[in-house]
Structure 1
Amino acid sequence: MRGTYCVTLWGGVFAALVAGCASERMIVAYRGAAGYVPEHTFASKVLAFAQGADYLQQDVVLSKDNQLIVAQSHILDNMTDVAEKFPHRQRADGHFYVIDFTVEELSLLRATNSFYTRGKRHTPVYGQRFPLWKPGFRLHTFEEELQFIRGLEQTTGKKIGIYSEIKVPWFHHQEGKDIAALTLALLKKYGYQSRSDLVYVQTYDFNELKRIKRELLPKYEMNVKLIQRVAYTDQRETQEKDSRGKWINYNYNWMFEPGGMQKIAKYADGVGPDWRMLIENEWSKVGAVRLSPMVSAIQDAKLECHVHTVRKETLPSYARTMDEMFSILFKQTGANVVLTDFPDLGVKFLGKPARY
């Protein structure tokens, strides 16, 4: 995964790197202002809107009755009280799946920040964030969120972009559902259909990305911008059918090899790597960051670089502050988009105004 090519940067802007990316630098509010308010709640989204984020990110999954739901996972276990409300609805693997519940049932659940479960005890993934289970947040549909955003734009006279991730398309295909088609149809209904519209669609599933590009966009007469999220194979983000029709773990290794980004560029406008994929951690320190081969590969393929996910709680040793991390990503890796749980800090770093 790791190559020998590297560049050591001692502060400042490395112009050759930055030149390969789009000129405008943007902040995407990852699941809203999730560093302050539980992720994917209306409160999180309206706070990010006020803070000045360029785009609001949504993770989209499907309910039993074919409604698109905004939720960070297709599994409900560690973000709702589903185990208390519906204790006998888990599958054989012990998990509770969004797709096994109707919208009406999902509306009964309380939503909260991500947590770990140890016995009956819930421990927040990020301990200093909004307290678990307070006051009483709920899940909502993707259509409700689009209506909410259009309402904010109407009452404030200010625009914000939509950044929608289609979650686990392969899983939905296994369940006989076409989540990508439903997502695109709803986006078009609300006026998000061309490259000039403030919308990105992303997924980890490369096979589905190709299908969106080749089949679904022409079918719906759309031409929205597409982003290929990048994973390590052992993260088990995606499955595909092998030659015998058996579902197997998708191998992402080719994305890290020479020519990988060129292949992605045939179908996508950009890629969404984790920031750890762009920086050689063991060779980097404060003031001296070593870049991975992926940085130049993205540039050579003329892809946009949308970096995930900057959080206060997970800063690396070579970035002492959020400002230092934003500087590394925007000025040194050449990223033009950074996704963060703390959009206000990204907006401030870029010198952009908050909306309110």
Structure 2
Amino acid sequence: MRTPLASLLLISTFLMASLAAQVMASPKQTHANNSKALVIAHRGASGYLPEHSLAAKALAYGMGADYIEQDVVMSKDNALLVLHDPYLDRVTNVAEIFPGRAREDGRYYAIDFTLAEIKQLEMTEIFERKDGKPKQKYPERFPVWKSSFKVSTLAEELELIQGLNQSTGKNIGIYPEIKAPALHRAAGKDISLAVLKELKKFGYSKASDKVFLQCFDAHELQRINSKLMPKLGMDLKLVQLIAMTEWGETLRNNAMGLKPEPYNYDWMMKPGAAQKIAEYAEGIGPWFPMLVDRNTGKPNHMVQEAHQAGLLVHPYTFRADKGQVPPQFKNFEEYLAYFYNVVGVDGVFTDFPDRTVKLRDSL
């Protein structure tokens, strides 16, 4: 899941800091103002270690996250990889190890590489090339290329979490996301079926299991609900992720079968949408500015209608980095408190699970 810099523009109409301070002083009892409100480690403890590294997942586990997220893509030889994007160049040294393997758009797609090739790569913090040098997206985070991290498989990560569950006596959940199913389908790969089979292999098959399965692609989520899970004898909790249409998060062929067009998410933010989503999912994962009115900064209809439809609300992504906390709030904790106490969400995706756990528990 992504949070563009434009977020600060959209949320500039939030309530002023004085109101946020009032929220901290006098918590309002809401649907989510209790110990059941979840802390979901977004790509692990990604505020401290490279996202989706096993080290980041172990740290998130130790910090007390309730669920740990896994974004899943596929390799050329059908391995399930824990990687936020379908391409490798954003967090690995693939351009140096395999020069000339980029597609026409200049990106190095995981689906074009075997697992053995991907295991040769080193993974680091998010970076982009500036004047031929890597520039870190979040400068305060773990420095780029200062240690050797590797892209892991979904199986490797599930083994880690389940192993820690056994050794600690806890039961920390998982929160996998099926990435770019249309891209994989175009390459002849059914990533949704593959992920479901892997989850079932590791014992995740029932609605009561500690797993949420999320996807931005509404058609794919409906297919998972109505066709794939019944076929496999599974009944997992599904979460509909919600993006801004202009992000192009989900591309689908138009009616003429010509150039793919972005899926239109606008309907998901309109009154009455929750009832439709509840027909195939148990929760929604909106971008957090979607939950407040742009003019007043107060909660809009989305959370209330979701709860009335029986849906959980888990917005993304709460970051404490410089420039990521809306200016109306004095600090990260006030920012979180507003969404837990006033907006009334049931959990949040965060890069900083330790600070989020501490704030949630203080409420």
Query: Is TM > 0.5 for Structure 1 vs Structure 2?
Result: yes
Work out which of the residue numbers 311, 319, 322 in structure 1 matches 2:329.
Answer: 319
Partner residue in 1 for 2:274:
261
Hey, what's the Cα distance between the residues in 1 that align with 2:108 and 2:183?
14
Partner residue in 1 for 2:345:
335
Instruction: Note if contact 1:22-1:304 (Cα within 8 Å) is conserved in structure 2.
Output: no
Partner residue in 1 for 2:84:
72
Identity %: 42
Partner residue in 2 for 1:118:
130
Shift of 1:317: 1.3
Hey, what's the Cα distance between the residues in 1 that align with 2:126 and 2:32?
36
Hey, what's the Cα distance between the residues in 2 that align with 1:100 and 1:266?
36
Deviations 1:249-304 (A, max 9, x none): 211111122222221111110000111111246644xxxxx223323332332210
Deviations 1:194-216 (A, max 9, x none): 11110000000000000000001
Partner residue in 2 for 1:272:
285
Structure 1 residue 302 and structure 2 residue 310: aligned? Answer: yes
Hey, what's the Cα distance between the residues in 2 that align with 1:311 and 1:123?
19
Instruction: Note if contact 1:326-1:349 (Cα within 8 Å) is conserved in structure 2.
Output: yes
Hey, what's the Cα distance between the residues in 1 that align with 2:133 and 2:80?
30
Instruction: Note if contact 2:271-2:302 (Cα within 8 Å) is conserved in structure 1.
Output: no
Give the unaligned 5+ runs of structure 1.
285-289
Deviations 1:224-258 (A, max 9, x none): 10000000100100022333334322111111222
Hey, what's the Cα distance between the residues in 1 that align with 2:335 and 2:70?
23
Paired positions, count: 341
Counterparts of 1:13-162 in structure 2 under 5 Å?
Answer: 13-15=27-29, 18-19=30-31, 24-162=36-174
Give the unaligned 5+ runs of structure 2.
1-9
Superposed CA RMSD in Å reads 2.1
TM-score normalised by structure 2 residue count: 0.89
Distance of aligned partners of 1:143 and 1:271 in 2 relative to their CA distance in 1, 3 Å threshold = same
Counterparts of 1:102-251 in structure 2 under 5 Å?
Answer: 102-246=114-258, 247-251=260-264
Shift of 1:20: 7.9
Distance of aligned partners of 1:297 and 1:22 in 2 relative to their CA distance in 1, 3 Å threshold = farther
Hey, what's the Cα distance between the residues in 2 that align with 1:258 and 1:279?
13
Instruction: Please tell me the residue identity of whatever aligns with 1:46.
Output: A
Partner residue in 2 for 1:287:
none
Hey, what's the Cα distance between the residues in 2 that align with 1:22 and 1:155?
27
TM-score normalised by structure 1 residue count: 0.91
Partner residue in 1 for 2:300:
292
Work out which of the residue numbers 344, 350, 356 in structure 2 matches 1:346.
Answer: 356
Deviations 1:93-128 (A, max 9, x none): 111100000000000111111112223111111000
After TM superposition, which residue ranges in structure 1, 4 or more long, deviate above 4 angstroms? 6-10, 20-23
Shift of 1:21: 9.2
